Homo-oligomer: A and B are copies of this chain.
Amino acid sequence: RPVNEVLFFPCEAVCVEHILNPSFSCFCSLPHGQETSIHILLRHILSASSSLDVCMFAFTNTDLSRAVLALRSRGVAIRVLVEEKNISICGSQIPVLLGAAGVCVRFNRTPISMHHKFAVVDDRRLITGSLNWTCTGVHDSNENVIVTEVRGLVRPYVTQFARLW
């Protein structure tokens, strides 16, 4: 049965360490043991086994970039397409991703700005919505994200990513 769900944000600041680093017993000051939309989003990203394609207007969220790097260290092929004017915004994760061996990053350099906020996991699970992968988006804005494996929805995004890449 294909995944088909909706996540809403903002979500409270709750520790996500058990997802990113399961073997580590965290003692940070955030609440532990609760699951929010960001936990579910991270799990969907981390479900990748072969590829992750990210097409993102702004990317400043460290939890999400750690998930991308964790996939990379497992050998998942990563492509990240971002809007050029957001490469260097405060907290940008793009320099971090550029520094990671094997993560392919490209920039939209056309005059048509790249406002997408979607990712495709293994060419078959689409994550898309209003949410940029930023701290503001996750914790301080009303946002929505659809996660779907309905082929008629996923395929156009796969094609669109190939076109923009």
Which residues of A are at the interface with B, using a C-beta cutoff of 8 A? 4-6, 8, 10, 57, 108, 111-118, 128-131, 137, 140-144, 146, 148, 150, 152-153, 156-157, 160, 164
Contacts and interface: CB of A to CB of B under 8 A. Distances in A.
A82 to B, nearest CB: 12
A88 to B, nearest CB: 20
Copies of this chain in its oligomeric complex: 2
A152 B149 CA distance: 13
Contacts of A144: 116, 118, 128, 157, 160
Contacts of A117: 130
Contacts of A116: 130, 142-144
Given A116-B130, A137-B115, A148 B142 contact: no
B160 A141 contact: no
